[in-house]
Amino acid sequence: MISGLRVAFFVHSICSDWNNGNAHYLRGLVRALGSGHTADASVVDPEAVAPQGHDVTVFEPEQNWSSENLLTESKGTYSLAQFHAVYPDIHVERYAPGVANGSALRASLAGFDVVVVHEWNPPELIAELLELRDELGFRALFHDTHHRASSTPEQIRLLQVERFDGVLAFGEALRQIYQERFGIAHVWTLHEAADTTVFFPRKANAEQDVVWVGNWGDDERSAEIRSFLVQPAAALADRRFCIYGVRYPEDALRELDEAGVSFGGYLPNLDAPAQYAAARLTVHIPRQYYAAAMTGIPTIRVFEALASGIPLISAPWIDSEALFEPGEFLLVRDIGEMVEAMMFLLANPAAAEQQAQRGVEAIRKRHTCAHRAQQLSSIFEEVLAR
């Protein structure tokens, strides 16, 4: 397989994870595409696919909404320092507003083989990158880890996706949308995955019975959070529930308090493995788009939770791509089944441990960032050969 390529990623932010879940995956993917060296080599999963050995640079703007909001959090500065300490191998270049329209970006990208452009970039920057692709000769790939191609396709059309050399879609349903609705010939399904250099089972005393790490997300799953987490918490009043996340409105916080749910606010993603280790189970609450129009996309936290060795119960979600096998997590259809599943796992530690182990094995065999890096290297090879 091809190696030693110069690869650039243009992202909203890889340093800040505030309401920016794709940063979790991109960190692991960039590490696995590069040398694979970590701050502590002992935490690397020995069963993971070998790193790909490319020379990777990540470009992000100096000013972005994720970083700005992060720095308003009490743990914001800590979170940024933690990122740089855990990922010293990730080379980040930050550019000032307007620099992309000058000669600086042209000089920075000279000699690159592939440029991957995430969909949370402004149209003006993307237009400039496509012009530089035509001038400098690198290949440009569009990377989509969201639902806008389905929910608001007019926004995606502004990004000139038809001019790219191909599209990386984080689910088969999204791949089909790009082929059928946008007429893109070269589209690959590239699911997210767990960075097993930081997400792996840890030993800790159980401080919570149920933990959930997730953001409110406006109306995309507010009803589902109430149905599959808040109401079960109220029904299981003798159990300890805790939620971490951002963008929770006041009425939602009141509901959590009334249901006896502890709210921890913003949680740096690199602290999530410790929170999973200190709880007895977690849940997956998909946003409406991933439960209906774009089935088969589990999103990043499913991979991370399973990699951490915690039993997981999912609200209604169709695994249309058969990413997981029976027994690797529990799937429920309604509130009653969610309460029953929680009671079962909390009352049967052996069964919970068995399920957790199956989840860990599923990630290590099929869904690590190293697996995705290997797949992406094959895509690079295909695109460069055209």
Task: Assess whether pLDDT exceeds 70 at residue 100.
Answer: no
Task: Assess whether pLDDT exceeds 80 at residue 362.
Answer: yes
Amino acid present at 380:
F
Out of 91-105, 132-146, 254-268, pick the least confident: 91-105
Task: Assess whether pLDDT exceeds 90 at residue 51.
Answer: no
What per-residue confidence (pLDDT) applies to 97? Answer: 72
CB contact at 8 A, 93 and 129 = no
Share above pLDDT 70 across residues of the chain, in percent, rounded to a whole number:
94
Buried residues in 8-20 as b, exposed as e (16+ CB within 10 A): bbbbbbbbbbbbb
Q: What is the dihedral of CA 38, 20, 282, 249, to 10 degrees?
A: 150
Task: Assess whether pLDDT exceeds 90 at residue 37.
Answer: no
Of 81, 49, 13, nearest to 268 by C-alpha is 81
Of 302, 272, 341, 89, nearest to 192 by C-alpha is 302
Task: Assess whether pLDDT exceeds 90 at residue 248.
Answer: yes
The string of pLDDT tens digits covering residues 336-345 is 999 999 999 9
Beta strands, E only, the chain: 6-10, 55-61, 91-95, 114-118, 139-144, 166-169, 187-189, 208-213, 241-244, 261-265, 279-284, 312-314, 330-331
The string of pLDDT tens digits covering residues 251-263 is 999 999 999 999 9
Share above pLDDT 90 across residues of the chain, in percent, rounded to a whole number:
87
What per-residue confidence (pLDDT) applies to 50? Answer: 63
The string of pLDDT tens digits covering residues 278-336 is 999 999 999 888 888 888 999 899 999 999 999 999 999 999 999 999 999 999 999 99
13 Cβ neighbours under 8 A, 6+ residues apart: 20, 23, 60, 61, 64, 66, 67
Amino acid present at 340:
E
Taken in order of first residue, the domains within the chain and their CATH numbers are: 6-193+368-385 (3.40.50.2000), 208-366 (3.40.50.2000)
What per-residue confidence (pLDDT) applies to 38? Answer: 56
Task: Assess whether pLDDT exceeds 80 at residue 1.
Answer: no
Rounded Cα distance, 335 and 198, in Å? 33
323 Cβ neighbours under 8 A, 6+ residues apart: 191, 296, 298, 366, 367
pTM (2 d.p.):
0.95
